Copies of this chain bind each other. A is one copy, B any other.
Amino acid sequence: MIMGRGLVNRLLALIAACAALAVASAAQAEDGYRLWLRYAPLEGEALARVRALPLVVHADQDPTVALAGEELVHGLAKLRGEERRPGVVITASRLARPLPPGSLSFECRDSAVPPGGAFAIKPADGGLRISAGEPIGCLYGAFALLRELSLGRNPAKIDLDERPAMPLRLLDHWDDPNGYVLRGYSGRSIFDWWKLPEHLDQRLVDYARADASIGINGAVVNSVNASPLFLTDRYIPKLRRIADAWRPYGIRLYICARFSAPKDVGGLPTADPLDPAVQAWWKARADALYAAIPDFGGFLVKANSEGEPGPQDYHRTHAEGANTLARAVGSRGVVIWRAFVYSAEDQTDRAKQAYNEFVPLDGQFEPNVILQVKNGPVDFQPREPFHPLFGAMPHTRLMFEGQITKEYLGQATHLAYLAPYWKEVLDAQTGRGGTVAQVIAPAGMAGVANTGSDRNWSGSHFNQANWYAFGRLAWDPTLSSAQIAREWAMQTFSRERGFIGKVVPMMIASREAVAEYMTPLGLTHQMATGHHYGPGPWICNLKRPEWNPCYYSRADKGGIGFDRTASGSNALAQYAPSVAAQWADPRTIDEDYLLWFHHVPWDFRTPSGRPLWGELVYRYDRGVATVDEMAATWASLAPYVDPERFADTADFLRIQSREARWWRDASIAYWQSINGLPLPAGTRPPEHSLDYYKALSFPEAPGE
């Protein structure tokens, strides 16, 4: 009996030690590297239910199926709070029958499910079955199931039948061969071309896994301001090494092609797209790429835009340029041609130029050409109306381009959750064949990636949510912003109701706050030159008129805003009449677009009843106040978040809070210098003089 008690006591001591260890492991520093794939242990009933679930892995030889099995084994073990692998039965070839009761099983070549990533998760044999028409569907199904379980769903009630809303779900990396990331705020490039092909960083595999978990199926690995190096022989083994690593995750590799490459690296005297030698050169390049990478995705091209070379250098159209590359690629892939063009010589409203350039070319593109159109007609501003090209080219496939890296929305340090931003455009009725989401459904979405070498991938923990949301929306644009935020936050931080109930509304409010303290009421591009971070509404001396904030604000003694109605540039006429009608009248327009479309006097009476000047100041103040509320909300969430990620986010909210005031104060000081008006009663005056704000300089700002 004494011995018995001694044994029990020793065992209890061991357990205490173990418990301490478990706590210590759980409490290990969270640096954000694991993103939303943490699979934190479940608790209570959810835990019991997941523990009850055995697993059958279908031992298909396909590497993607193997990954799906490994992900489930890994994910379930983590959700169960064990490091031990859950019970795994490997069957010889097709599913062994009968399965253990309540099993979770795979069927990855089910002819009843369409190809292209679709999957179903259904009750089967008293358990669950993931069915897909192709292996990649099983991988997507595995991630979907783990997501549902992570959210605490009862496996018995899971019944999913999903297929991607669009075929191309891409990330565009604006990365240079030397590791510099244009508009990157999260360190250096994840691609280390210098050490490839011998060395492939583990991060590139982890990246593909994260992409696959949200349905991303392709990545353009270099900047649209493209180096011709990517079209040289020396780069083929480098590209192949990456493509080989990504293939099992269903990520196809694309490159940006520099239009002048036939001259730059091909030894030809011209890059004229109608020159037979140029056409043969592109064909040979495509052949060499496909020989190394059979599933090479294709080329993305920025042509005749911001100084990049293009077909117009040879008096050819964009269609003639795109078609030469498209014929070289043929049925093996696509050529994605960017619609983001504006010309130094063109004196028309910049917002009109892409439409003017491309609409006449509708129907002239090869079938494997896709036109990639930014969400709005200017350049990733905190708010823009949808781009008028959406719906205006019925004979051309159009793709949506969004910017995940927040060049104009506070970059790494300001918290702005972008799902509501993208939804605003995706859900917009074009008046010409449905919503933007419907217009792009035959093509897809591309997001300018926010990934970099920073340990947290995205420059801030909350910027990860934008990568996540972009992938989820490309998979299913009908998902709500709140649902995506909830999913992400539960997987990334905590499932606790006390956390989710506060953090989701905070995220939902965040982008609107940024829009309000930076560019309220439809103002555009008031950012300072170069870094595009802080305010520069006074800037009016840059070489090209459309680079200047004053070009967009049109602020003068008489009023503010860009007249894009018939009395002005008439950009409004580029929209379908039903859409244009909503925006034509400054008295009835949604105030968020007021100054985008109208130049109105400072005393213009807005629908709120306030005069424009008062409304403007009110909006700046509301943006600032929202950030303060966000900071207070976050402070209250300390009990739910590990110390490192909590402090990182709190620090950044402190920066955002200070800088929201900077934006508000500098902007108001400038508008006052223009309109000479006193501040509305009860309004706090700017902290410093306008000269103070004008003199600020930040040579270490990213992008400067």
Contact = CB atoms under 8 A, between A and B. Distances in A.
Nearest to A193: B700
Contact of A21 (B21, B194, B699): B21
A580 to B, nearest CB: 42
Contacts of A651: 195, 198-200
B83 A24 contact: yes
Interface in A379-413: 412-413
Nearest to A203: B455
B11 A21 contact: no
Interface size classification for chain A = 35 or more
A454 B644 CA distance: 19
A229 interface: yes
Interface in A480-511: none
Contact of A20 (B8, B82, B699): B82
Interface in A214-230: 227, 229
A48 interface: no
Contacts of A699: 177-178, 227, 229
Interface in A647-702: 648, 651-652, 654-655, 658, 698-702
Contacts of A187: 187-188, 453
Nearest to A5: B4
A188 B453 contact: yes
A347 interface: no
B698 A194 contact: yes
B18 A21 contact: yes
A233 interface: no
Contacts of A608: none
A14 interface: yes
B15 A11 contact: yes
Contacts of A7: 8
A110 to B, nearest CB: 34
A83 B654 contact: no
Contacts of A14: 15, 18
A202 interface: yes
A405 to B, nearest CB: 15
A566 interface: no
Contacts of A702: 178-179, 194
A432 to B, nearest CB: 44
Nearest to A1: B4
Contacts of A18: 14-15, 17-19, 21-22
Interface of A: 4, 7-8, 11-12, 14-15, 17-25, 29, 31, 82-84, 177-179, 187-188, 193-195, 198-200, 202, 227, 229, 412-413, 453-455, 644, 648, 651-652, 654-655, 658, 698-702, 704
Closest 4 CB pairs of A and B: A24-B83, A18-B18, A177-B700, A199-B651
